[in-house]
Amino acid sequence: MGKEIDRYTYRVTWSEEDHEHVGLCAEFPSLSWLEKTPEKALAGIRRVVQHTVADLKKNGEEVPEPLAMKSYSGKFMVRVPPETHRRLALQAAESGVSLNRLVSSKLSQNGI
């Protein structure tokens, strides 16, 4: 397999519905591969991604950039219900920190 596909983000998890391990790739959310063992599920999804990338290139289509290769600014906009915004603003004010610092701290505490 080409090294190019090694940069993609893979995950293997258990599918209770299928009673098998499922291999997934974050950059190709429509693809998956079922197998009896996690190792085979990973190998399977890697093969599927390799074939998909080859097909995309052959047809002149855009190939997704690996998430690991992308640059991130550290900024993103999140929409929340007005009541959630109000509660967060109140918590920030009572804690003497900015809303941005409070939300960033909450995201970090949740292992994100």
CA distance 47 to 28: 13
Tell me the backbone φ, ψ of residue 110, rounded to 5 degrees: -90, 15
- Predicted confidence at residue 86, as pLDDT, reads 95
Q: By the 8 A CB rule, do 26 and 17 touch?
A: no
Q: By the 8 A CB rule, do 21 and 14 touch?
A: yes
State pLDDT tens for residues 60-82: 999 999 999 999 898 989 999 99
Mean pLDDT along residues 95-110:
90
Q: By the 8 A CB rule, do 48 and 33 touch?
A: yes
Report all structural domains of the chain as residue ranges with CATH numbers, in order of start.
3-68 (3.30.160), 72-109 (no CATH)
CA distance 14 to 20: 6
